[in-house]
Amino acid sequence: MLEFMDYVQNAFYNVSHWNHENSYSHLTATTRALLEFDTPRGLRLNLSSLSSPNFATSYTIGSVGLVDGSLSYLYTSLPLYTTSQSGKIELHDVIRGYRQIQELRKPEELWMWEQWQGGKRIDKRDTLLYGRLYLPQSTLEALYLRRLSPTQQLKLSAVSDSRLRNGGTILALHQFDVGKYSADTLYSTDGGLIGIRGLYNFGPDPRKEVTELPRTDDRFYGRFSAGAEMYYGSLNKSGGVSFGGRFATLPAHKGVPLTATLTLNPLMGNLSTTYAVKAGKNLALCTKFDFNVYSYESDVMLGCELWKMKAKIPKERERSMLAKLEWRLDPIKENPVPEPDEVAGVLKARVDQNWKIGLIWEGRIKDLLFTLGSSVDMKRRDQPFRAIGLELQYSS
């Protein structure tokens, strides 16, 4: 489940019209959500608040052998009028699950950001500042996020810790996204790492006018995306490269939603394939196969998620005052608007070829969001339960 500060950061992306999922780093987001979820350890409590549209705070305390915690503060120059009460937040917005990719949208024009007053431009670029202090380790995290233009964004991340080399590290990331393709350029002071990654979406260009209707009657109506990334460490003189592709159905697809990916790391010889399918309205299945062409070692992992909806209680029909005075019944609506389903919780499970099992149950009780999970190793009969934990979140 997303932490409150990550939820607020996603709200900043939505309000500023930035598609953070149109990136090579999110190529396998669905697989990571279904198979690589973290199981909680011990007891952890998170108290958060969006005290104003521009300011948010969060406090975390946990107990895993010893008591630890963190203090977080966030400021944004762009007002965020998003739902912040944990009892009202839509669970689909905070629980990572099967991700249905959306149609590409046309980026805003630069002139749309201009604001004039008295013949002078007064517009400013939206900015987000975030800081987090971990106790008792005294580790400090910081984030500076700034929208440069409708198609560009700058992100600076820093960590200060005495246990790290040089006492900390800084990561600079420049993102460029026009919908049809995106490119990221990054630099890290840790090893002098320089990298670039990009993603290209095949199909119509959202920047151009559509002259023909989409062929939604095709057996598989979706989008194919391909990308790559390259890194080079200027201090240790080492590099890395990877390639990847993804096919995912779009919302207008009339069949079963599915997502398939293929990633390749030629230097390490790693090949990874994934396949996820929305088998039902509330059920998603996923599988992952890894293979190394040098060592011939392979890994297999299976996972699923099952959403549980609350049972709808039929409402009793009450007569209006006019109907009571006229001794009659109110007319029955022919096409009543159906009420949306309310989520009670979601169960996630995964298992690999070594019979290591991960289970979590995420949902809401009253005004508390919770995550209950456990890690099980079936090969260790003497102590199969490796970890059990519970996380609670409350926000206002």
Nearest to 323 by CA among 315, 332, 314: 332
Look at residue 246 in the predicted model and tell me its pLDDT: 95
Q: Which two tokens stand for residue 270?
A: 């790693």
* pTM given for the model: 0.86
Look at residue 242 in the predicted model and tell me its pLDDT: 94
Look at residue 129 in the predicted model and tell me its pLDDT: 95
Look at residue 56 in the predicted model and tell me its pLDDT: 94
Look at residue 315 in the predicted model and tell me its pLDDT: 62
Look at residue 265 in the predicted model and tell me its pLDDT: 93
What span, in angstroms and rounded, lies between the C-alpha atoms of 273 and 291?
9
Look at residue 314 in the predicted model and tell me its pLDDT: 62
Q: Which two tokens stand for residue 203?
A: 């199909």
Look at residue 212 in the predicted model and tell me its pLDDT: 58
What span, in angstroms and rounded, lies between the C-alpha atoms of 100 and 63?
36
User: What is the DSSP track for 36-96?
Assistant: SPPPP-EEEEEEEEEEETTEEEEEEEEEESEEEEEEEEEEESS-------TTTS-GGGTS-
Question: Are the CB atoms for 306 and 282 separated by under 8 Å?
Answer: yes
Q: For tokens 């400021």, name the residue.
A: 75
Q: What is the pLDDT along the chain (396 residues), one digit of tens a residue?
A: 889 999 999 999 999 989 988 999 999 999 999 999 888 888 999 999 999 999 999 999 988 767 888 999 999 999 998 888 988 888 888 988 898 888 888 888 877 777 777 778 777 889 999 999 988 888 999 999 999 999 999 999 999 988 888 888 999 999 999 989 999 999 999 888 999 999 999 988 888 876 556 666 667 788 999 999 999 988 888 889 999 999 999 888 888 899 999 999 998 889 999 999 998 889 999 999 999 999 889 999 999 999 988 776 666 666 667 776 666 766 666 555 566 677 888 999 999 998 999 999 999 988 899 999 999 888 888 888 888 899 999 998
Q: For tokens 């039929």, name the residue.
A: 314
